[in-house]
Structure 1
Amino acid sequence: MGDHDQDDVAEPAQPPLTTTQAREVTTRLREAMDDVRRSMAVLAARVRDAHAARVWLPLGYGTWEAYCDAEFGISRAQAYRLLDVARTLAAIHRAVDAGTETSRTRDTGPASAAVLDYGLSQRALIAVSSRTDDVTELITRRLATLAHSGLQALDAATVRAVVRQAVRDVRTAPPPPTAGPTEDPALAELRRVVDELAASTYAIGELMLEVAPAYLSDGDAADVLALLCAEIGLPLEHGFAARRYAMSGDRRALHGTVL
């Protein structure tokens, strides 16, 4: 990486924007980002339906990953990340349905998925895909509490805020401890150290994703990650492991490298 942040990189000279023009550009950018998230919701719904129908078999493919590679040119990891996103969104839809006791989410087709845009990024959904039970429990409980209190209408904006906060809470919270009350103190301390190491590695993985987004293959990401890892004194394989952990939330991504 260079000595300057990305926003310091020289760009072709343009006349300065007024505050009104800058706000208009920002609004268009926000709308474009919302369009991307809605498209992801539609894609997730279609991926879920295609996988449930085992669509690869009539087309002569032996596996889901072979189908995705041949038809769409995406890797095995990307194919299963799409499934993780689809399953996480489906679980969230069910939790919203249970929490609000409405038929709002019972239509699971692509059109309804686009309407039910919670403003969640693919990275956020992948990060909590291994803890969907925690996410859905929070959503259901918080929506039910709001509904029973009568203090706030469960309109789309409120539901969206509850879902986003639940995902954020689970994403940033450490996994619940698995040890019982009689665990050996030395083992408990070792577990705490491992948890802290995993948390710091996740933060490094988030940094890796800033410079090498999840849609890049390992090969495409290697050059930029090599520079970053060299600057921070981290072995490249550890950088890749941290990046995979930040994408999946699964500590097994760290086995053999960091852990």
Structure 2
Amino acid sequence: MLPHALVPPAGPQDDGVVGEQHEDQEHDAEPARPPLTEARAREMTAGLREAMDDVRHSVAVLAARVREAHAARVWVPLGHSSWESYCQAEFSISRAQAYRLLDVARALAAIHGAVTAGTETSRTRETSPAAAAALDYGLSQRALIAVSSRTDVVTELITHRLTTLAHSGLTALDTATVRAVVRQAVHDVRTAPPPSPAEPSTDPVVAAGRQLTDNLFASEYAIGELMLEVAPAYLSDIEAATGALALLCEQIGEPLEHGLAARRYAMSGDPRALHGTVL
């Protein structure tokens, strides 16, 4: 997913005729375009949808190849000491990026395992292990990283929902249905609020404190999602801090370290990412 462009704050402009002339020149620089027809708008939308699907499919293919390369210890015959040094030398990516690729690969493999366990039809299975691992559920790299630390929850949810559908006989478990179930499960886990305590406290002060904590975590997750819009998960903290994230934090009055911590929390779902900044 490409980061949203940030528009820098407008600089001071001279009042009067000069500014008006400059504005007129800007308007005249681009010729007026005829209004789009509905047919043309639908055609452009279809093109955008196809491009987005291509990007998501690329994530699935990349995840399958990363998992295969790591399992084969591809770095050994090439003379590298580890996976991270191999990725640095061969692809010029950081240690953090190298292990995020593994997170994506493992998350997708776990999801595919849940799909296999939760279905009783061969229609969702491919003819070879490599093809099966690359089965495209339409998930972005960001989504897979976000649930990589909670794959047990995601897979349990997928297995339960697919098994229920298979036994109900109301819906055929075709590829589109399975894809929808997987995407919804990932969405549900990503957006689920923190679990409530098994036995809520009867002390109003304790209950209020827990509510404040829950609200804080929800707020930080929302901030982290915003940070990921301009600094996608594949960027390291250093790359994010020296890019658009620093500008965003400056514009909204947020300390950069706070923005980075919220970004890590949105990626991992682990509240410990906020320690030392918010907590």
TM-score by length of 1: 0.86
Higher-Rg structure is 2
Are 2:103 and 1:62 equivalent residues in the alignment? no
5+ unaligned residues in a row in structure 1: which ranges? 5-9
Shift of 1:241: 1.3
User: Which residue number in structure 1 is paired with residue 156 of structure 2?
Assistant: 137
Match of 2:217 among 172, 184, 198: 198
Shift of 1:32: 1.1
User: Which residue number in structure 2 is paired with residue 226 of structure 1?
Assistant: 246
Match of 2:275 among 252, 255, 259: 255
User: Which residue number in structure 1 is paired with residue 170 of structure 2?
Assistant: 151
* Paired residue type of 1:91: A
Maintained 8 Å contact 1:48/1:87: yes
Change (3 A) 1:226 1:150: same
CA distance in 1, matches of 2:128, 2:237: 33
* Paired residue type of 1:197: L
CA RMSD of aligned residues (A): 2.6
Change (3 A) 1:197 1:108: farther
Change (3 A) 1:181 1:31: same
Percentage of matched positions with identical amino acids: 72
SS of the residue 1:128 aligns to: helix
Are 2:89 and 1:82 equivalent residues in the alignment? no
Runs of 4+ in 1 over 6 A off after TM superposition: none
User: Which residue number in structure 2 is paired with residue 162 of structure 1?
Assistant: 181
Maintained 8 Å contact 2:109/2:133: no
SS of the residue 2:199 aligns to: coil
Superposed CA offset, 1:81-100 (max 9, x none): 11111111111111111111
Shift of 1:219: 4.1
Maintained 8 Å contact 1:97/1:106: no
Maintained 8 Å contact 1:38/1:113: no
User: Which residue number in structure 2 is paired with residue 236 of structure 1?
Assistant: 256
* Paired residue type of 2:186: V
Match of 1:15 among 33, 54, 62: 33
* Paired residue type of 2:177: T
CA distance in 1, matches of 2:250, 2:52: 32
User: Which residue number in structure 2 is paired with residue 173 of structure 1?
Assistant: 192
Shift of 1:234: 1.2
CA distance in 2, matches of 1:34, 1:120: 9
Shift of 1:223: 4.2
CA distance in 1, matches of 2:87, 2:202: 47
CA distance in 1, matches of 2:229, 2:206: 35
